[in-house]
Every structure is written in structure tokens, then in C-alpha cells.
Amino acid sequence: MAASSANENSDKPRRTVTSFRNFVSQNHDSQFPAESGRYHLCLAVLKLKGLDKAITFTSVQPLWRKTKENDEHMGWVFPDSDKEVPGAERDHINGAKSVRGLYDIASLNYTGKCTVPVLWDKKLNTIVNNESSEILRMFSTEFNHFAEIPCLDLYPPNLRSLINETNEWVHHGINNGVYKCGFATTQTAYDEAVKQLFDALDKCEEILEKQRFLCGNTLTEPDIRLFVTLIRFDEVAYTVIFKCSKRLIREYSNLFNYTKDIYQIPGLSSTVKMDHVKQNYYGSFPSINPLGIVAHGPNIDYSLSHDRHRFS
């Protein structure tokens, strides 16, 4: 689920491992204790848990730009004003021009990829974590005393073994699988990646025939991780640019209704900026789409009725 850059130096690309892996804890003696107003996110659980009053949020521009005037590095940048790019905001915390600028503040010697999301500590002025799966876990387990919806537990103790197992195959087969397809440099690598991706999607379809969510009839972490790929699949670049066109998600009855079900959870739809997603995927991968032309359609309405209430 993390927006880490794909490593293109192999016919089987691997996504770059994220580097800041600190954990916010309820323990007040922790280096990063859970505190209201302390952390800033430069994402869906924030809205699901009702944490957007305790943790602030900034959205970057959808298109990669040069992150510094004097070199060719391209990456995530902030607009100069909140009105420059609809849906994106300037960095009100540090005044950084780019996400790279935040990494420079956090570590003078940092040489890795400057990925998003970033969980920023406004008190220590540093990056706490840039691995989306771990940020998701923190928001679900460590900030309940600040959450407006504390009863939502995406990592309940009785399901943790199943959640961990499901997270693994969803990540490798689907979240990472679409990138393996898109950045494969040989036919053999692409064929293998497509098979793994659609085997995993078929597995999801079979599970969702019997229950509302991946780990039962309760929303948990793997559902959020799967949703962020499904919502992009037909509408944006996975089907077209990443060549994941064997089957559309809307051709899977259970997966398509499941995607609509999660999209309609209060607060979640506001985190899906489809125009930003399209601009980013079509415009930021010149090796795949050199002209940066953004395709029209299909403009799927995920607010339409679904059939998942049959499991209620």
C-alpha cells in the first residue's frame, strides 16, 4: 500500500523499502507518544477513526515536479499556495517546497527514496514513519483516546493472526502486484506478475462470496489495504498503463460491490481524489506513458447501491 517507487533495475521490479519506521505509542515515556495536535500526515484511517481533529493533513500536488532547482530529481511537491492546485495545500508546518524537503529536515544524510505518506512529528520536527501499513496500525491502535470513533478496531486481538496472514498475500499479490505488472521489463516477468495478481484477485472474489469483508463480517486492516488498489484499478492506470487488463474489477461481482461498500463508509469517499490519482499515474511515469496524456473515463459511480448488506 505505501507509495514507494518501483525499482526498475530488474525484470521483476521490487518496490523500495521505506526507511523511517518509528512507532507512535500510548506509552507516555515513548520517544513518540500519542498526543493530540502533535502529528501531521503529509491519508483513509484518519477519516474512518475520526482522527482528523487530532492529526492534521496536507495533500501534495498530483504531478511529480523537480524537487530542487539545480538537479533533475522528480518527486512530490507542494503548491506555492492553497489555491494554486485544487485539492492540494502548501506545507504550513515547515514551509517545505517538496516532500524531499521534509526528508532533508528529518535527516541531513538521507539518501533513500522520498516517498509518501509521511507521518510528521511537529514537536520534534521529524518524520516518525513513512510506511503506510504501519501508520494505519498506529491510527487504529494508539490514538483511540483522541478518536471520535474509538470503537472501530481494524486490528482486533481475536483476528490478528488472520489479519497478518491476509495482509501478506494482499500486499504481495495485489498492492505490489500491480507494480510488478507495470514495471516488468520482460514478457516472462510480466506473465508471471499478471498470473500472481489475478490469482490473488480471484482468491478475494471467492472469500467475498461468503462474507462481507476479507477477515469476516468486520472491517479490518486488509480491507483498507485492498480498497486503495481496487478504487484505482478500473478508473485509472492499473488496467491501462500497468497492463493489468485481463479482467476489470467491475467484472467481479463481489469485488466491485465490496469496493462500493467500503467507499460509502462515512468519511472515506473524501479521501479519494480521483482527478489527482489520474494525473499522477498518467503523468508521472514517462517510461510507461511518455506523453503524459490522461485518459478519459470510465467515471465509475461508487456511490451507487451495493449488495454487501446481505451479510449484515
**Average pLDDT of span 185-193:** 97
Is 132 annotated in a binding site? The answer is yes
d(CA 80, CA 300): 32
Residue 2: pLDDT band (50, 70, 90) is very low
Which stretches of 6-89 are assigned E, i.e. beta strand?
A: 6-7, 14-15, 39-41, 56-57, 65-66, 74-75
Are 41 and 118 in contact by the 8 Å Cβ rule? The answer is yes
- Residue 195 in this model has a pLDDT that exceeds 90: yes
Percentage of residues of the chain with pLDDT beyond 70:
92
Catalytic residues: 179
Is 115 annotated in a binding site? The answer is yes
d(CA 78, CA 112): 20
Residue 160, pLDDT score: 97
d(CA 155, CA 141): 7
Residue 108, pLDDT score: 86
Is 76 annotated in a binding site? The answer is yes
pTM: 0.86
- Residue 169 has phi, psi (to 5 degrees) of -75, -25
Is 271 annotated in a binding site? The answer is no
Is 116 annotated in a binding site? The answer is yes
**Average pLDDT of span 89-110:** 93
Three-state DSSP class for 180?
Answer: helix
Residue 18: pLDDT band (50, 70, 90) is low
Domains of the chain: 1-6+16-151 (3.40.30.10), 155-311 (1.20.1050.10)
Residue 13: pLDDT band (50, 70, 90) is low
